[in-house]
Homo-oligomer: A and B are copies of this chain.
Amino acid sequence: MDENGVTFMNVIELPAVEVDGFVEQWRERAKLMRDAPGFRDSRLHRAKLPNTRFQLVNVAHWDSVEAWESAIANPAFQTAVRGVPGVVTPNPALYDVVVEYEQS
């Protein structure tokens, strides 16, 4: 396990009118992730303005790439993901923190 872990982000494009419904589906789907080994935390962010290009961004932290890969391979999660409507364009990817500033 990497002490710093890994950041998973999903930058989601969808019409503003679809956001409420998607958030409710996401809430249930993400519970499958929460219970997986190596999960640390997950926050779904919603844009304050309806004309923001990316209405939703999920920022999650995992112990390792391997833990995240095992979690998404879960058949229950795969089935849930197939229920995402076609109007939604997800952009999921893994990231490392390269610069970090805290309040000085």
A positions within 8 Å CB-CB of B: 6-7, 9, 11, 23, 26-27, 30-31, 33-35, 39-49, 52-54, 57, 59, 65, 91, 93-104
Contact B30 A95 (CB under 8 A): no
Copies of this chain, count:
2
Given contacts A54-B93, A91-B54, contact A23 B103 (CB under 8 A): no
Contact A98 B48 (CB under 8 A): no
Given contacts A99-B26, A99-B30, contact A91 B53 (CB under 8 A): yes
List chain B residues, Cβ under 8 A from A65: 48
Given contacts A34-B104, A102-B41, contact A53 B93 (CB under 8 A): yes
Contact A46 B103 (CB under 8 A): no
A56 to chain B, nearest CB (A): 8
Q: List 9 A-B contacts (CB under 8 A).
A: A11-B57, A30-B99, A30-B101, A33-B101, A39-B103, A40-B102, A41-B101, A42-B99, A54-B93
